[in-house]
Every structure is written in structure tokens, then in C-alpha cells.
Amino acid sequence: MYAEQITEPLAHHGEGPCWLARSGELAWVDMLAGRVLATSLARGTTQVIDIPGPVAAIVRPRAAGGIVVATETGVILLDDHELPSPLCEIVTQPGIRMNDGGCDPQGRFWCGTMAYDETPGAGTLYRVEADGSHAAALTDVTISNGIDWSDDGSTVFYVDSTPGRIDTFAFDGASGALADRRTFAEIEPGFAMFDGLTLDAEGGLWVALWDGGAVQRYAPDGTLDAVVPLPCGRVTACAFGGDDLDELFITTSRLGLPDGADPSGGALFRCKPGVRGRPVREFAG
């Protein structure tokens, strides 16, 4: 499969692609720079929304309109015609920031944390209710990353990048509890790290490879069955979008690289993988 570069390297650390069906835009973030980017496929332009301080790799549409964004330490709500409105503050420890997450079928907003210095076990996965109340769902995490739910909502797929695994949990939609952790897929030690992920309409799992220069697809049984190579190494996340949800959008980064290395790092890419995605789950708040 071929990945087409559709923007210049607009981000230093591009992350968190999310299709906004109402506006026909692909939202993504320049994470540590505190910028939310909205790329219009029809116009070929990208709108930049500056957020005070770093943002996490999470942007999702809201059922009430607008979008929800995780910042360095909490969650804010954005509307086209209003200033950012804080929903909740989650992180209080110094040296810890939000990283990746998503929305569950019930409309909760899930966001994970990590230490800036990647201290093992310093991160936590939180679930945030529509009213802003929140609770820890998983502790002893190092780099909390991609998360998504099966169509029936009974299974969660989750990446803590450092162990080199994609895990599954049984999910209780009523309580939001996780249980029965199992390994779904593993990556060869020292090759790359699993990063952001998404599921397609056939139950296949697509995951970005940080320092692996690709997106991989795993079949529902955990078998690797497709690879999308990219011209840059630091591939961060992927998400389906487009009017028919048949395009896979891929974010990349040049974080930590010397000047001139990976010149396309930080650009947005897309490919036609031959399968469709699923409608984006909205935040209930």
C-alpha cells in the first residue's frame, strides 16, 4: 500500500488524527507545541488553533458540538465561537503529562498519561465522564498510547508502548471497568514501538510504529496481514476518515531528530487501504 503525503511537515510532533464528519476536516495535533490542526481535504488548507501549553494526542468531536481536547494536565472543550472552556484538571504531579486516548461507546473520554522522562510505571489511564468527573482505570503505565473498542463494546485494545505489546481487556460498559488483560500482538524487541491505533469495520487493527516507519494491520486473530510503509521513521497514529471512511490518515513526527533528518517527518499522510473505518465515537459532554 502507498501512503501519500498531503501536507507539508506542519507539525514538530504530529499526533492524534481524528475525522470531523460535520466539517469534513481531519483534526490532528502538534503535540508539545500546543496546536490543534484542522486540515480541510476539499480546500487543501489547514487551520491552526493555539492552545495554552502542550496538548495531548487526543481530539474528539462532542455530541453537543465542537471538540474536546486533552491538554498537558486536563481536558478542555472548544467551540467555534467561544474561548476554550476547562472541563477538568487531572494531572497534579510534576513531570507528568497527558498522552493518548479516545472515546468509548458510552461517550466517556479516556486519556492516558506518561512521565516526560518516561519513568517506568509513572503513567495512568483515566476515564472522564460527561460532567468532568474522572477516575483512574489503569495504573502502573509507562507510555499510555492508543486505545479503541470493538464494535460490540465488549473488548478494549490498548497500547502501553514500552512493553512492546498490544493488549486486550474485557470491558464493562456500565461501570467502565477493565478486566482480564491479555496479549493481542507483540513486536520484536528493539525494532520499534507500538503507538496510536484504530480498528476498521472488519475488526482489523491498524497501529503506527514509532521508529518503525510504517503502519501495520493485524487481523482479528492477531495475525499481521498488511503493512503501509512511510518515508519517515517516527509514525505516531492513524485514523479513518473521508466521506466514505475509506481513507486512512497517518500522523508523523520529527521529535528528537537532528535538523535535516527525516524531512517529511511532521507531515500528514493518507492511503486507501481497501477497507473502511467506523464512525468516530463522540464525547458525551
Per-residue pLDDT tens digits for 18-37: 999 999 999 999 999 999 99
Q: Are 267 and 14 in contact (CB under 8 A)?
A: yes
Question: DSSP code of 220?
Answer: T
Q: What's residue 79's pLDDT? A: 84
Structural domain contains residue 279: no
Structural domain contains residue 50: yes
Helix or strand holding residue 138 (H, E): strand 134-141
Q: What's residue 82's pLDDT? A: 63
Asked whether residue 260 carries a pLDDT value surpassing 70, the answer given is yes
The span from the CA of 138 to the CA of 132, in Å, is 18
Q: What is the span of the domain harbouring residue 54?
A: 4-256+265-271
Across residues 228-254, what is the average pLDDT? 98
pLDDT over 70 for what percent of the chain? Answer: 99
Give the CATH number for residue 200.
Answer: 2.120.10.30
Structural domain contains residue 278: no
Q: Just list the catalytic residues.
A: 195
Across residues 174-199, what is the average pLDDT? 95
Residue 175 CA to chain centroid, in angstroms? 23
Q: What's residue 125's pLDDT? A: 98
pLDDT tens digits for range 118-144: 999 999 999 999 999 999 999 999 999
Q: Are 202 and 219 in contact (CB under 8 A)?
A: no
The span from the CA of 269 to the CA of 43, in Å, is 16
The span from the CA of 169 to the CA of 48, in Å, is 36
What is the SS3 assignment for 173? coil
Structural domain contains residue 73: yes
Q: What's residue 81's pLDDT? A: 54
Q: Are 55 and 69 in contact (CB under 8 A)?
A: yes
Q: What's residue 189's pLDDT? A: 83
Residues with Cβ within 8 Å of residue 181, at least 6 apart in sequence:
167, 168, 169
Asked whether residue 279 carries a pLDDT value surpassing 60, the answer given is yes
Across residues 52-76, what is the average pLDDT? 92
pLDDT over 90 for what percent of the chain? Answer: 91
Structural domain contains residue 18: yes
Q: Are 281 and 103 in contact (CB under 8 A)?
A: yes
Structural domain contains residue 282: no
Q: How confident is the model at residue 53 (pLDDT cuts 50, 70, 90)?
A: confident
Rg of the chain over all Cα atoms, to the nearest angstrom: 17
Asked whether residue 195 carries a pLDDT value surpassing 90, the answer given is yes
The span from the CA of 192 to the CA of 233, in Å, is 9
Q: What's residue 284's pLDDT? A: 96
- Of 81-85, 141-145, 150-154, minimum mean pLDDT range: 81-85
Structural domain contains residue 109: yes
Q: What's residue 80's pLDDT? A: 67
For the CA atoms of 62, 63, 64, 66, the dihedral, rounded to the nearest 10 degrees, stands at 30
Q: Are 26 and 39 in contact (CB under 8 A)?
A: yes
Q: How confident is the model at residue 1 (pLDDT cuts 50, 70, 90)?
A: confident
Q: Give how many domains the chain has, as a whole number.
A: 1
The span from the CA of 98 to the CA of 247, in Å, is 27
Helix or strand holding residue 37 (H, E): strand 35-40
Mean pLDDT of the chain: 95
Structural domain contains residue 284: no
Nearest C-alpha neighbor of 7 from the set 34, 36, 44, 42: 44
